Structure 1
Amino acid sequence: MDATILALLLLDGLQNGVIYALLALSLVLVFAVTRVILVVIGELLMFAPLSLVWLLEGKVPGTLWLALALGLLWALLERGRGAFFPLLGALGLLLLLPLARGEALLAYPAAVLLVVYLGMATYRVFFQPMREAAVLTLLIMAVGLHVAYMGLGLVFFGPEQFRPEPLLRGEVTVGLSWQGVLVLLFALLAVLALYLFFRLSLYGKALLAAAQNRLGARVSGIRPEEAGMVAFGIASLLAALSGLLLAPLINAAYFMGFMLGLKGFVAAILGGLISYPVALVGALLVGFFESFTSFFASAYKEALVFLLLVPALFYQSLRARTVED
């Protein structure tokens, strides 16, 4: 291996690692606040660029009807004044998406808002009524939603792969495009924004409180349901923006989100599903490990990446046993 190949592998690993980091941070945030392992985050990531492609082609994506159906159920569950927000969001989507057809300036924000609304509606309809359920029950629900959303993705967008136009064209150097630089900058800004959000904003401090001590947060006047809604909204926003930036580099298809979400989950597990910094480091480790294994053993790279779960889970089991003793 010469220096050129090493540099290419490092750049590829860094580019993949920052995307896994954003997914891992989203998974850790959602799990810490709601105890939900958000398996469906990969589908949310892919729904954004696929909806964008449909809008740019002058068509209304099927994800709009899914979001509206869940929004209606959300409004029925809320009733009274609580139904105002989901109905207002649904009305906004109904007005915005037809206007965004064929208009790039409107299509990008429309795709992001659609996925954020869909993520929040998913929490309210499926997970909030189960907030007292065991983690295993919530995981079964999350896996079921993953299967359902992936099947709906096939119905909405078909089996083809799509590659939206990059926001920035050209290459900085061999192996790194300007779109890749944009992905790296977005990841850095997202991590910084999350840090400032948790440290300086009232909502961020409330989320941390709900994550660290749910009962204490409730006693202090923080509603876990509202904290869960904010957590799902942030996770959906990160997934949507990541998908829009990543799709010009890797293509977008209904089935591709699952593998990306799983690798983000591996990174989150390396952080114990509780530590944001360790999850970030774990995501970069997964990205570099995947890059180098694809060079030395490309046929086994997926299996080798998921093999990282074994020592991570073994360490977590030893740690849990030590705490119990």
Structure 2
Amino acid sequence: MNTTILLFLLQDGITNGAIYALLGLALVLVFAVTRVILIPQGEFITFGALTYATLSAGGVPGTAGLAMVMGIVAFGFELFSTRRSLRAARVFRAALIYLVFPAVVLALATLLPATRPGVAVNIALSLLIVAAIGLFLYRIAFQPLAHTSVLVLLIASVGVHLALQGFGLVFFGAEGLRGPPLSDAAVTIGPLRFTGQSIAVYAITIALMAALWLFFGYTRYGKALRATAVNRLGARLVGIRTSLSGQLAFLLASVIGAISGILIVPITTLYYDTGFLIGLKGFVAAIIGGLISYPLTAFAAIVVGVVEAFSSFYASNYKEVIVFTLILPVLVLRSLAAPAVDEEKD
């Protein structure tokens, strides 16, 4: 290996690591707030990427119809859960969120592709569709189970993953799709060539991390999410609606997943089940971060990306095995450092 190859591998690893960092941050956010290990994060990637590719090709994505159906179901859940204290203002607000919002998104997704809008419009519409799915998903699948154990939430998460993956196959088929790049520009620095897409990956990742830092540190809703992550019971006692915190967490996670997919789909062909493997690599970074530390998760994601790049060069057949093996020493060290717990007696 010479210096040029080393630089190419580092460039590729950092680019992939930036994507994994976004996914890892979303997983940490959702787990901290809701105790849900978000296995369907991979489906948010897939839905965002393939919805964008479908819109760019002039088609109408099935995810828009899915968002409408999920909105109707979520509205029914909301009415049933508040049946004893129904108020006109509450019903109106629920109708705006669960019925009007997805209906407008579905109408835009049906009408706009025929006009061949630009990249920015397709990206915005893709994010709206996936954001609606993420928001309604929490209301339907996880909010009714919010007070159950982590194991129950994990089982529900696996079920949601399998269901959404099946929907992905129905909507987009078994053949992969590829979307147009965000920019055709390119910059050459020494032996390295940075495409507009790779630059967009770096820029958007940094911008999102900065936006999340500002959101959590300086906004009321961000501080409510942090409070819920630290102590759910304490947050409820001071008047924070933990259900709203869960919806916000899923909304942010779905948008981050969709953005990650849109950044990936111009680089490589994505299939209906590709997002699951990509999401698992973000999960590795989140586990290394202990599912609590955002900076450590971001650093671990870069390490995962670099290890994957070098593994693909030296042992491409085993690169996935090598990447997922990174989690083993972390789990061993954490188990050794954890305090001993006596077995419960009957």
Offset, 1:323: 9.2
Distance in 1 separating the partners of 2:53 and 2:269:
11
TM-score in terms of structure 1 length: 0.96
Structure with greater Cα Rg: 2
In structure 2, the partner of 1:270 is: 288
In structure 2, the partner of 1:279 is: 297
Offset, 1:82: 4.9
Give the alignment of 1:1-325 within 5 angstroms: 1-79=1-79, 80-84=91-95, 85-101=97-113, 102-104=116-118, 105-173=120-188, 174-321=192-339
Task: Return the letter of the residue paired with 1:160.
Answer: E
Task: Return the letter of the residue paired with 2:292.
Answer: I
- 8 A Cα contact 1:22 1:187, kept in partner: yes
Task: Provide closer, same or farther for how the CA distance between residues 259 and 203 of structure 1 changes in structure 2, counting only shifts above 3 A.
Answer: same
Distance in 2 separating the partners of 1:322 and 1:295:
42
Structure 1 residue runs of 4+, over 4 Å off? none
Distance in 2 separating the partners of 1:93 and 1:292:
42
- 8 A Cα contact 2:65 2:106, kept in partner: no
Distance in 2 separating the partners of 1:32 and 1:280:
16
Superposed CA RMSD: 1.5
- 1:161-215 Cα offsets, whole Å, 9 max, x none, are 2111101114323453121011011000111111111111111111000000111
Task: Return the letter of the residue paired with 1:295.
Answer: F
SS in 2 for 1:37: coil
SS in 1 for 2:75: helix
- 8 A Cα contact 1:73 1:125, kept in partner: yes
- 1:293-318 Cα offsets, whole Å, 9 max, x none, are 11111110000100011111112222
SS in 2 for 1:321: coil
- 8 A Cα contact 2:228 2:235, kept in partner: yes
TM-score in terms of structure 2 length: 0.90
Offset, 1:322: 6.4
Give identity over the alignment, percent. 46
- 8 A Cα contact 2:32 2:292, kept in partner: yes
Aligned residues: 324
Which runs of 5 or more structure 2 residues have no equivalent in the other structure?
80-90
Offset, 1:81: 4.0
